[in-house]
Every structure is written in C-alpha cells, then in structure tokens.
Structure 1
Amino acid sequence: MGIDPSLTCTGIAINEDGEITTRRVRTPNIGTTLTAKRLRLRRAIEGVLAPIPARVDVTLIEVPTSTKQFGAHGERMAFYWWLVDQMFARGPVVAVSPSSRAKLATGNGRASKDDVTTALRAAFPAATIPDDNVADAAGLMWAGARWAGIPTPDYLPEQAEAYSRLDWPTRVTAAH
C-alpha cells in the first residue's frame, strides 16, 4: 500500500493481489485553536485508517518536506508520525523521500506532479487516479507490490535504481 499524507487531501492506494483501490481523504481546516487542530488530526487519521486492512504486507509512506512553505508544519509532522505509528501496527513501513517517490513513479527524481500523475495513469490504466495525491500513493504502492511479490508493470532502469535504494524491511520466513 502507498500513502501520500496531507492534511488537506491524503492519497491512498492499495494493491490486494492485483486489485487496486484508491481513495482520497479530505480534512478541512476547522480552526486554529489547539482543540480544533487536535480534532482535525484525529479526523484525518480515522479517515485514512478506516478502509485499511488489519494486516498489510508493507506500507510505503512519503515523508513530508521539512520546509515550512506549506504551513501547519507541526500538524503535518504530527499527522505523519501518527500514521507511521498506526501503520506499524499493521505491518512493516518504508519511508520514502519526495525525490525518491518521483523517481519510483517516472524514473526522474525531479518529475513534476503532472508527470507523476501521467506515468501512474499509464502504468495502471484500470485504477482510479483522480489527482496527484492518489498518483503519489499509487507510485508508492507500485514499489510495495513489487516487494510483496505481486505482479506489477515493469520498471525502467532508473525506477529500479530508486527501488533498490529504499530501506526495505527484512523478510521473515517460516522455518521448515
């Protein structure tokens, strides 16, 4: 599964044995008080977690940028860490930088949001990819599905390079 976390619109993409489902979770700003910020974060977390299975082979999640250009930096980081914590309860989690996310999708770490969206729509034509939030999540899901052994479209060499550089969890195998 892939998650592109955002307080305004989180993109989610899940691949269950080749069946891809996507979702957007929108969380409007409801105020600037501490209580309002807390409530917004709780609603965002609940909205993301609601459709997710209790067990996931692997979740790839984009790490928010460290710049403060997008506002609500503290809330964005809290949202990210709460999601990471909750996803670890469901299975292994892999953090992906924004440039690696773009390279996984297109082979170019500086690809625009439009290029990523176009690439993911081409790779998964049957999937619903309405915007760049879901496209980012789908690109992360693509890598996670490959790691889990689910058949996926082939990667370009540049995409495979980005895939090989991720900090993948150690596979646990049953003793025979």
Structure 2
Amino acid sequence: MTTPDLFTPEVPAATTAAGPRPTVIGLDLSLTATGIAYMDGTTATIKTVQKDGDRRLLHIAEAIRWAAGEGQGPMGTDVRPTLAVLEDLPKHAMAAGITGMVHGVARAILLELGIPYATVVPATLKAYATGKGSGDKTPMAMAAYKRTGQEFADDNQCDAAWLRWAGLDWLGVPEFELPKTQRERLAKAKWPQAVAR
C-alpha cells in the first residue's frame, strides 16, 4: 500500500456551473475539546477526559474519520471532503507538544484517506474572520453571527467553522462575502498545491 502525499492526491476540481461544489471540513484540534465543522456546515465539539490518557487520541481519531466521510459519515458512505483545514500549532505555545500529538493523528488519517489539508495559524484565522489578528475569541463569534446568523456552543466550534469557511473561500466558493483585505489574509496559510481552484 502506498502512502498518499499531501501535495499529490487526486481531488475533484472546484465547482463550476457544471460541476459538484467542493466540500471542506474544519478541524480545531485539541486533546481536550476538538472543534469540528462538517462538510454540511454543522459543528460539534469532541470532548475527552484526562483520566483516559492517550486513549483520548483514539476517540478523536474516530471523530475525524467520521467527519472525513469514512463509513457512514455526515454526507453518506465514502463521500470525502475536497479539503480539510486545520488550525496550525501556534509558534512557541506551551501546549504545542500536547496538541502536536492530536495533529499527528489527524494528519495521518487525512493522508491515509487521501484528503489534502491546509494549515492556518490562529492569528491568520482571526485576521481572516475579523480583520484583526489578535484578541480573544469573542470578535470571531460576533463576526460569525454577523455573516451567517449562526451561534456556536463554544469557541472550538466557532474556530472550526471559520476554518471551513476559509477553505471554501480559498477554493473559490465562499459561503459569504468578506472585505478584500480580510480575504487576502488567506495567502499566509499553507495550502496544498494539488487542490484545483
């Protein structure tokens, strides 16, 4: 069995008037509360408990596989997203080592399933959502409500939704309009070359 490469998998082209609309999942990865935005736009938080130790990784892995359409995922059997967008590890973060374990699991699953993924650092995601790359999570929730009328149970789901929206925007099928200066922030993310735009 060959391992798919991040930058070479065959993926469907972006939507045209005649083609299918690309699908994107957003993953705000954390060992305690992973936010997921599914292909259909719904969101969830996958919570784990510390007493389960490293078995938490298996719980998160199962949730990511389901979000990625393996088996009876949210879009039906074997419907895969065009792209997954992950919130990248912040540089010099104290929790980066712990979160790095979750990133390793998520990236391995996406590679195994042949799903290309992008990474967006938190400051870039905030700037895309709000126009400002610093501050707390409240402005992101307010921006989501302003653009979509959607409210989220927690900031993990909100971040995952913004990651999904960023991926759709990058693929040329934005869910809503944003100012050009905010959209230009997407150029700072790490996007896979193989996904047609």
- For Structure 1 versus Structure 2, the TM-score category normalised by the shorter chain is 0.7 to 0.9
Unaligned runs of 5+ in 2: 1-24, 71-79
Aligned length, in residue pairs: 162
For residues 65-100 of structure 1, the C-alpha deviation after alignment (integer angstroms, 9 at most, x for no partner) is 344544xx5332111111022123242100111111
Match of 1:167 in 2: 190
Match of 2:176 in 1: 153
Match of 2:133 in 1: 109
Unaligned runs of 5+ in 1: 31-35
Is the aligned partner of 1:11 residue 2:27? no
With over 3 angstroms needed to count, the CA separation of the structure-2 counterparts of 1:143 and 1:68, relative to structure 1, is closer
Is the contact between residue 25 and residue 48 of structure 1 (CA under 8 Å) also seen in structure 2? Answer: no
- In the alignment, the residues of structure 2 paired with residue 102 and residue 3 of structure 1 have an alpha-carbon distance, to the nearest angstrom, of 15
TM-score (norm 2): 0.73
Is the contact between residue 104 and residue 162 of structure 1 (CA under 8 Å) also seen in structure 2? Answer: yes
Match of 2:53 in 1: 37
Match of 1:25 in 2: 46
Match of 1:97 in 2: 121
Match of 1:33 in 2: none
Q: Please give the root-mean-square deviation of Cα atoms over the aligned residues, in Å.
A: 2.1
Is the aligned partner of 1:132 residue 2:129? no
- In the alignment, the residues of structure 2 paired with residue 133 and residue 119 of structure 1 have an alpha-carbon distance, to the nearest angstrom, of 15
Is the contact between residue 41 and residue 75 of structure 1 (CA under 8 Å) also seen in structure 2? Answer: no
- In the alignment, the residues of structure 1 paired with residue 131 and residue 143 of structure 2 have an alpha-carbon distance, to the nearest angstrom, of 10
TM-score (norm 1): 0.80
Is the contact between residue 141 and residue 151 of structure 2 (CA under 8 Å) also seen in structure 1? Answer: no
Match of 2:14 in 1: none
- In the alignment, the residues of structure 2 paired with residue 159 and residue 60 of structure 1 have an alpha-carbon distance, to the nearest angstrom, of 17
Match of 1:58 in 2: 83
- In the alignment, the residues of structure 2 paired with residue 172 and residue 98 of structure 1 have an alpha-carbon distance, to the nearest angstrom, of 22
